[in-house]
Amino acid sequence: MLAYIVRRLLYALPILIGVNLVTFALFFVVNTPDDMARMQLGVKRVTPEAIQKWKVERGYDKPLLINAEAGGLASVTNTIFFEKSARMFVGDFGRAEDGRDIAREIGNRMLPSLAIALPTFILGLFVTITFALTLAFFRATAFDFWGVVLCVAAMSISGLFYIIGGQYLISKVWRLVPISGFGDGLEAWRFLILPVLIGVVSGIGSSTRWYRTIFLEEVSKDYVRTARAKGLPETLVFFRHILRNALIPILTGVVVVIPLLFMGSLLTESFFGIPGLGSYTIDAINAQDFSVVRSMVFIGSVLYIVGLILTDISYTLVDPRIRFE
């Protein structure tokens, strides 16, 4: 098992290097640092001196990949690629345009993101699996039919409308919770309820339909017929047999998401003014702060790869037949 995890981690390394190269190409090959300087400075203040100053201040005055002037190891390390991209592997993300340390900023913003994402994830999973199981239990009845109709309708509504509608109705008209903002410590819950609720509701449509399909697939299998044949009540068949066996396909989709919870949700956080990583990213996009966006891309891919490994490990816990060599 340990050997397997180590091998998977080693296998992840080339992928991370690939991610790094892709983002590097996106940010520096399509546009030269001169272009970036021109855009950041604005049309009026562009002079060759200003561009040079901007580049020196932020360390963009070096060659892209190979520094021919510097000798030895410095010819590789004294470059933009090493300074801006390669150092992310050791957690050095550099500074944002406003001069703040990105790594510290990420550390500060992780908790608010988790405070929203974790309850949304767990509650959402509970609600949708329960709903899907109920629909599968009453399969081929009017209840099932209208449930699916409801799911398709819910799927067709853009996430934007859930947020806008929920905020308007619950915060503005009924005045139950504050519209946006974030508090410290225990006070935070009042700010968290609405985003969590909206997060759960907006996910119901597609997830329920997906889980229902998985459950229905299990229902048609032989072991279920055997369980019924030996006289087990239908509820027991569902909760003991089908739910347990449907866990593998559900896990596949779910575990990958867990690390991404750290990233927060771009939309929810910026709408509700929650100082998490999602709103950080959106702000960086709007401010065209490339260093922050680049760091977030890197972290996002690290988390995704961790998620994939976690998925494989979780298989062994659910199904003892799966063993890793």
Partner 1 sequence: MGFQVVVLWSDILIWLLVAAGVGVGVLIAKNPPLLAAWRRVGANRVGMASATVLLAFILIGLLDSLHYRAQLESKPGQKAVYAIEVLSVLDALAAPLRSRNEKTYSAPFATRLYAKETIDVPGQGTVRDYPRLKHGGKHLGEREDEVAEDAAFTAFKAGLLGFVGWLGVFGAVATVNRKKSPKLKLREAAFAWDAVLLTLLLILVFAVPLFWLSGYYHVFGTDKVGQDVLYQILKSVRTGLIIGLVTTLVMLPMAVLLGIVAGYFRGWVDDLIQYIYTVLNSIPGVLLIAAAVLMMQVVIDTHPQWFSTAAERADLRLLALCFILGITSWTGLCRLLRGETLKLRELEYIQAAQAFGVSSWRIIVRHILPNLMHIVIIALVMDFSGLVLAEAVLSYVGIGVDPTMTSFGTMINNARMELGREPVVWWSLVAAFAAMFILVLAANLFADAVRDAFDPRAA
Cβ contact 307:257 at 8 Å? yes
Q: Which of residues 8-37 bind partner 1 (CB under 8 A)?
A: 14-16, 18-19, 22-23, 26-27, 30-31, 35-36
Decide: is 86 part of the binding site for partner 1 (CB under 8 A).
Answer: no
CB of 281 to partner 1, least distance (A): 7
Which of 113, 208, 281, 314 forms a contact with partner 1 (CB under 8 A)?
A: 281
Structure tokens at 134: 């109920």
CB of 138 to partner 1, least distance (A): 14
The total number of residues written for the chain in this structure: 325
Location of structure tokens 């699916």: 148
Task: Using the minimum distance from each CB to partner 1, give the nearer residue, 67 or 85.
Answer: 85
Most distant CA pair in the chain, distance: 85
Task: Return d(Cα 16, Cα 193) in angstroms, integer.
Answer: 36
Task: Using the minimum distance from each CB to partner 1, give the nearer residue, 67 or 272.
Answer: 272
Location of structure tokens 């991370």: 16
| Interface with partner 1: number of residues (CB under 8 A) | 50
CB of 162 to partner 1, least distance (A): 11
Cβ contact 198:222 at 8 Å? no
Decide: is 50 part of the binding site for partner 1 (CB under 8 A).
Answer: no
Decide: is 301 part of the binding site for partner 1 (CB under 8 A).
Answer: yes
Distances 268 to 144, 170, 217, 275 between C-alpha atoms, Å: 31, 15, 34, 11
Decide: is 155 part of the binding site for partner 1 (CB under 8 A).
Answer: yes
Question: Residue 324, exposed/middle/buried by CB under 10 A (0-12, 13-18, 19+)?
Answer: middle
Which of 63, 159, 249, 273 forms a contact with partner 1 (CB under 8 A)?
A: 159
Decide: is 176 part of the binding site for partner 1 (CB under 8 A).
Answer: no
CB of 270 to partner 1, least distance (A): 8
Task: Return d(Cα 159, Cα 263) in angstroms, integer.
Answer: 18
Decide: is 313 part of the binding site for partner 1 (CB under 8 A).
Answer: no
Decide: is 157 part of the binding site for partner 1 (CB under 8 A).
Answer: yes
Decide: is 207 part of the binding site for partner 1 (CB under 8 A).
Answer: no
